[in-house]
Amino acid sequence: MTHRSKIIKEWVDVHVTDAKKNFKASFEVDKHASRIIGICISSDADDKLYFRGSQRIAINEKEIYPEDYESKMLMQGLNVAVNDRIIKIGEEMEPGNRKVEIDYKDSEHSNAPFSPYRVRLYVFSKIDEPNHKS
Amino acid sequence: MSKRHPIKQTVKVLYITKPNQKIRFQIRHPENVYAITGIAVTCTLAAKRRGKRKITGGSNAGTLHLAIAEKGDVAFTEDVKVETNNYADFTEEQISVIGISKGISFEGKRLSYFETHFKITDAILEGYYWDSFLTEYGFFINTESVFADAVQALDKSLVIIPSEEVIPIKDSLLYKVTVYIRYSTIKPEEK
Query: Hey, are the CB atoms on A46 and B87 less than 8 Å from each other?
Result: yes
Query: Hey, are the CB atoms on A47 and B10 less than 8 Å from each other?
Result: no
pLDDT value, residue B190 = 61
Please answer whether residues A41 and A74 qualify as being in contact, where contact means their C-beta atoms are separated by less than 8 angstroms.
Answer: yes
pLDDT value, residue B1 = 43
Mutation target to probe the A interface, by most A beta carbons within 10 A, among B5, B8, B13, B14 is B5
Per-residue pLDDT at A130 exceeds 60: yes
Q: pLDDT of B65-76, one tens digit each?
A: 998 877 767 778
Query: Looking at chain B, which residue has its C-alpha nearest residue A44?
Result: B88
DSSP string, A75-95: ---TTS-GGG--EEEEEEE--
CA distances for A6 relative to A35, A131, B89, angstroms: 11, 12, 30
pLDDT value, residue A103 = 97
Which conformational region is residue A68 in: left (phi greater than 0), alpha (psi within -120 to 50 degrees), or beta?
left
At residue B91, φ and ψ (nearest 5 deg) are -65, -35
Residue A107: closest CA among A37, A33, A27, A23: A23
pLDDT value, residue B152 = 66
Contact B54/A at CB under 8 A: no
Q: How many Å apart are CA B63 and CA A24, to the nearest integer?
A: 35
Mutation target to probe the A interface, by most A beta carbons within 10 A, among B29, B39, B44 is B44
> Residues of A with CB below 8 A from B10's CB?
66
Query: Hey, are the CB atoms on B46 and A51 less than 8 Å from each other?
Result: yes
pLDDT value, residue A80 = 76
Per-residue pLDDT at A133 exceeds 60: no
For chain B, which domains are there? Answer: 7-140+170-190 (2.60.120)
The pLDDT averaged over each successive group of 10 residues in chain B (191 residues) is: 69 91 93 89 72 52 86 79 62 49 50 84 90 78 62 67 64 87 80 54
pLDDT value, residue B127 = 92
Query: Looking at chain B, which residue has its C-alpha nearest residue A71?
Result: B111
pLDDT value, residue B122 = 86
Q: pLDDT of A64-112, one tens digit each?
A: 999 999 998 898 877 677 778 888 887 778 888 889 999 999 999 888 8
Q: What is the pTM of this model?
A: 0.73
pLDDT value, residue A46 = 84
Q: pLDDT of A15-45, one tens digit each?
A: 999 999 999 999 999 888 888 999 999 898 8
Q: Which long-range contacts (CB under 8 A, 24 or more apart) does B54-60 make?
A: B54/B84, B55/B82, B55/B84, B55/B137, B57/B136, B58/B132, B58/B133, B58/B136, B59/B84, B60/B132, B60/B133
Instruction: Please say whether the dihedral angle defined by the alpha carbons of residues B69, B72, B74 and B80, taken in this order, is positive or negative.
Output: positive
Query: Hey, are the CB atoms on B107 and A46 less than 8 Å from each other?
Result: no
Q: How many Å apart are CA B45 and CA B117, to the nearest integer?
A: 29
* Measured distance between the N- and C-terminal CA atoms of chain A, rounded to whole angstroms: 9
Query: Hey, are the CB atoms on A73 and B42 less than 8 Å from each other?
Result: yes
Amino acid at B37: T
For chain A, which domains are there? Answer: 2-128 (2.60.120)
pLDDT value, residue B180 = 92
pLDDT value, residue B77 = 85
pLDDT value, residue B115 = 86
Q: How many Å apart are CA A10 and CA A27, to the nearest integer?
A: 9
> Residues of A with CB below 8 A from B6's CB?
90-91
Please answer whether residues A129 and A4 qualify as being in contact, where contact means their C-beta atoms are separated by less than 8 angstroms.
Answer: yes
Which conformational region is residue B92 in: left (phi greater than 0), alpha (psi within -120 to 50 degrees), or beta?
alpha
Please answer whether residues B85 and B92 qualify as being in contact, where contact means their C-beta atoms are separated by less than 8 angstroms.
Answer: no
* Measured distance between the N- and C-terminal CA atoms of chain B, rounded to whole angstroms: 17
